[in-house]
Chains A and B, each alone.
Chain A
Amino acid sequence: MRQIAYLVREAVTNIRINRTTTLIAVATTAFTLACFGVFLLLYLNLKGMARSLQDDIKAIVYLNDGLTAQGVSDLQSRIKADQEVASLSYVSKEQALADFRTQFPSESHLLQGLGENPLPASFVVTLSPKFRSSEAVRRWAERLRAVPGVAHVQYSREWIENLATVLGYIELAAVAVGTILSVASVTIIASTIRLTLYARRDEIEIMRLIGATGSFIKIPYLLEGAALGALGGALALMLLKSGFEFFKLQLGAPGRFLGIESGFGFFPARISLLMVLAGLLLGSAGSFVSLIEFKGAKP
């Protein structure tokens, strides 16, 4: 217990003595993790948004004109029986016209000259979550098109798939940027620890000569690196949170109007903790690298 207290005390002393290099190392780690955090935040929010959009995916089955009430009812039963269909609602020709007039009041005069209602009756189908992939929806739509009474099946799947592709790119960019900056962070923390080791080489030599084991000598430096990394992680979180709040503030009214703002969220506690942990691991790795290179820590 006394040994542990001594090792922790030594690590704290190291940090206190080398204030400038400590600050640089903490700032670098914070910058690294903040950059990575921006990508992660973007990725998680877009992913959440994509998921909520996917929940809203609907297909519209347009019906041939002149279909009898019995025909509509039979077709409804037929479509409902498909395992791809979660629910459906019928929109009559009259309802479609009324909806058009409500949604586009300034364009309603376009329909007046036609005399007869040109809008078809339709079923608005909510697809079952298990069958929302592009391929599943395409197969189902093709099958349905062959059913008598069905004029056309419309679904807007592609852009959701495009969003998934964009998300994939963001994920890739986050990994690439994270990797590059992690290497930079490890290198800078390693340099910080190396400077400390160099400044205290006489002390390390004395410790070796009085019978200190390699781990007894190394542990304070590993703790120092871990502490620097964890501090960097915490600082990165603070930076990200401030940036996030600022962004939300800037988004303001337009964001609320578009319904974007409510969908945005900061990291959950678990990911915030992982961020600090990532800093801690980066810092430990930096220390480890410098200790491997430092011959003075060997007997």
Chain B
Amino acid sequence: MIQLFHVSKYYDRRPALSNINLQIEKGEFVLLVGPSGAGKTTLLKLLFCAEHPDDGQILVQNRNVARLRPSDVPYLRRTMGIVFQDFRLLPKKNVFENVALPLMVQGASAFETRRKVTEALKAVGIEHRKESRPALLSAGEQQRVCIARAIVNGPIILLADEPTGNMDPDLAGEIMELFKMIHARGTTVMVATHNRQVVEQVGRRVVMLNEGKLVSDKGAGQ
């Protein structure tokens, strides 16, 4: 599903990632852990083509993303769901409209949009707030909306960058349960976190990065 071969990425000649080799199978749940500045976000950005590797090759669904034409990038992203620590919701649109956006850009019909958005909102338990603007929601609710937006399109891969950052342990636990539920449906999930409690709660494959290097890979194949 995801393969990285000798991948390196530099910012101002400083390595953010050095010679990363990683293979993630379809349907795996992978936790990407490490301290701040370890290269977790950079690795995720490489996967959804927000950055390009300086060295090495990356295959996502058997497509070499380093060689992808710019016009093909949106179509690759449509097969992925992305969850951010800062939610990145559109403040002027309500919950329903925010979640409907990925369907809108693909030209889904009104009927299909309503059905899928309602389904996604139900899955994350936020259907009752569908008319609200993001500013009126709590952090946990905003993250649920962000997750609903990421799964509304039925993605093959779900990438989450510190989805529980700045959340209390109970809330973080609830959010991680949602990821486990999404994974149980067959989606490949990759979550970057530095939250130890999350690692213990999920108990899946843990890939550890430190100073841009892959230092351990435990529990592969789970």
Binding site for B on A (CB under 8 A): 2-3, 6, 13, 202-203, 205-214, 216, 298-299
Given contacts A206-B88, A207-B101, contact A214 B71 (CB under 8 A): yes
Binding site for A on B (CB under 8 A): 48-50, 70-71, 73-75, 77-78, 82, 88-90, 92, 101-102, 104-110, 149, 153
Closest-CB distance, B156 to chain A (whole angstroms):
13
Contacts of A299 on B, CB cut-off 8 Å? 49, 70-71, 73-74
Contact yes or no, A298 B105, CB < 8 A: no
Contacts of A210 on B, CB cut-off 8 Å? 77-78, 82, 101-102, 105, 149
Contacts of B78 on A, CB cut-off 8 Å? 210-211
Contact yes or no, B88 A213, CB < 8 A: no
The answer, among A2, A203, A209, for a CB contact under 8 Å with B82, is: A209
Complex alpha-carbon distance, A211 and B104, angstroms: 10
Could you show 21 A-B contacts with beta carbons less than 8 Å apart? A2-B107, A3-B104, A3-B105, A6-B104, A13-B92, A202-B88, A205-B88, A206-B88, A207-B105, A208-B74, A209-B77, A211-B77, A211-B105, A213-B74, A213-B105, A214-B70, A214-B71, A298-B70, A299-B49, A299-B70, A299-B71
Contact yes or no, B88 A209, CB < 8 A: yes
Contacts of B92 on A, CB cut-off 8 Å? 13
The answer, among A2, A6, A13, A211, for a CB contact under 8 Å with B74, is: A211
Complex alpha-carbon distance, A230 and B103, angstroms: 32
Complex alpha-carbon distance, A2 and B107, angstroms: 7
* Residue picked from A6, A209, A213, A214, most chain B C-beta under 10 Å: A209
Specify the chain A residue showing the minimal Cβ separation from B81. A210
Contacts of A203 on B, CB cut-off 8 Å? 90
Complex alpha-carbon distance, A208 and B101, angstroms: 11
Contacts of B106 on A, CB cut-off 8 Å? 211
Contact yes or no, A212 B88, CB < 8 A: no
Given contacts A209-B77, A299-B71, contact A216 B50 (CB under 8 A): no
Contacts of A6 on B, CB cut-off 8 Å? 104
Contacts of B102 on A, CB cut-off 8 Å? 210-211
Given contacts A2-B104, A3-B104, A203-B90, contact A213 B71 (CB under 8 A): yes
Complex alpha-carbon distance, A216 and B48, angstroms: 19
Contacts A206-B101, A211-B153 supplied; 18 other A-B pairs, CB < 8 Å:
A3-B105, A3-B107, A206-B89, A206-B90, A208-B77, A210-B77, A210-B101, A210-B102, A210-B105, A210-B149, A211-B102, A213-B74, A213-B105, A214-B71, A216-B105, A298-B70, A299-B70, A299-B73
Contacts of A298 on B, CB cut-off 8 Å? 70
Closest-CB distance, B53 to chain A (whole angstroms):
16
Specify the chain B residue showing the minimal Cβ separation from A203. B90
Complex alpha-carbon distance, A212 and B107, angstroms: 10
Contact yes or no, A209 B48, CB < 8 A: yes
Specify the chain B residue showing the minimal Cβ separation from A202. B88
Closest-CB distance, A256 to chain B (whole angstroms):
58
Specify the chain B residue showing the minimal Cβ separation from A212. B105
Contacts of A207 on B, CB cut-off 8 Å? 101, 105
Complex alpha-carbon distance, A248 and B51, angstroms: 65
* Residue picked from B70, B88, B153, most chain A C-beta under 10 Å: B88
Contacts of A2 on B, CB cut-off 8 Å? 104, 107-110
Complex alpha-carbon distance, A205 and B177, angstroms: 28
Complex alpha-carbon distance, A216 and B104, angstroms: 10
Closest-CB distance, A221 to chain B (whole angstroms):
15
Closest-CB distance, A6 to chain B (whole angstroms):
6
Specify the chain B residue showing the minimal Cβ separation from A4. B107
Closest-CB distance, A291 to chain B (whole angstroms):
14
Closest-CB distance, A263 to chain B (whole angstroms):
55
Contacts of A213 on B, CB cut-off 8 Å? 71, 74, 105
Specify the chain A residue showing the minimal Cβ separation from B104. A6
Complex alpha-carbon distance, A212 and B48, angstroms: 13
Contacts of B71 on A, CB cut-off 8 Å? 213-214, 299
